[in-house]
Structure 1
Amino acid sequence: MTEPPVTGGTEAHTARFPTETPPAAASGHVTAGGGLPLLEDVPAWLTARITLRQRIGDHLLVVGEVESGAVAEDAPALVHHDGAFAAARRLPSQ
């Protein structure tokens, strides 16, 4: 099955995440409460408080409690799976 293309203007933002440059340094951003950088021109954002850090094998599981967030536009959800980005879409009704 072919994955749908990334849409909704997210291509430019997703191209930065696999790099060494932190996202806030790579593009325009605004400062939220507490000095947190938030990317500009993204369809949605959230901030979270870390509630758990757990080593699992050679991975680190980080769990957070969402404290704030907003949706700036109606855009498809962005999915990263198996090394690629795609836009999520609803499954057809059965």
Structure 2
Amino acid sequence: MLAGAQELRDIDGMLELLLEQRAVLLEALPKQGATSLEEVIARLAVAEQLIWTDDHLQAQAMIAGSRRDLTALLGERRPPAR
């Protein structure tokens, strides 16, 4: 057996399990409209992770920028802490 072959098989098994878990989680994501800006920001954070930067650089950058913009706008709307 080649050195590292078992380790590579173990990694493949972990990847299969992770991809299955990912599919279940993606299916469970809410599909209806968000009820708050915080939820919109959280959804953008998920979308940001789902988009492969190498494949869709502009889309990933737009999502990341929109998430940051909304986070900043939300911070501006909140009253200062006492």
TM over 0.5: same fold?
no
Pick the TM interval, shorter chain: under 0.3
| TM-score normalized by the length of structure 2 | 0.24
Q: Which protein has greater RCO, CA pairs closer than 8 Å, 6+ apart?
A: 1
